[in-house]
Amino acid sequence: MPDFKDVNSLLNYAKLQVAKAMQDDVARHVRDTIQKYLLSTVYANEQSMYIRSFEVLRALTIGKVSVIGDEISIKIYIDADKIVPRDGPEGMWGIHQSFDGSAYNEELPFLLEYGNQKYNPYYNTPAFEYMQLTIEEMKQTKEHMIRLKGYLRTKGITTK
């Protein structure tokens, strides 16, 4: 660990290391956990009405670290621009399209997380809650914090 001239230099170093840990390790672990729940819920069953594209899984994106004051955060989200609506093969439903053929990529992550059983008479999509399951796992295992502390330890910063 480097030597520091003053407390501000030490605090800036610590913030930088936390931001790097978030980007390099913690966010990847959280993304992998979300993918695990997408696979075990959304993609668990074969479909006969449409072809699985797995684009929702591949659209899971890690954003840039944000540092505002003492708060450091990172956004992990499904990038709807990576979900490409298109016609399905003959006799199959369009991929990421609604009944009328309009694009459904923007709404899809919300539909998969929360379901649509109350709001649309045509769909009976259950709530898969892949994000909620990830949040619950992080609260229970504290793996994100364990990884953050482990990363910081490699940089000479120990925490309780």
Identify which of 68, 63, 38, 67 has the alpha carbon closest to the alpha carbon of residue 53. Answer: 38
Beta-sheet strands, E only, within 30-160: 60-68, 71-78
Distance separating alpha carbons of residues 51 and 44, to the nearest angstrom: 13
Q: What is the pLDDT of residues 7-58, one digit of tens each?
A: 999 899 999 999 999 999 999 999 999 999 999 998 888 766 667 889 999 9
Q: How many angstroms separate the most distant Cα atoms in the chain?
A: 70
> What are the φ and ψ backbone dihedral angles of 159, each rounded to 5 degrees?
-135, 165
97-134 confidence digits (pLDDT tens) = 877 888 888 988 988 898 886 656 666 677 899 999 99
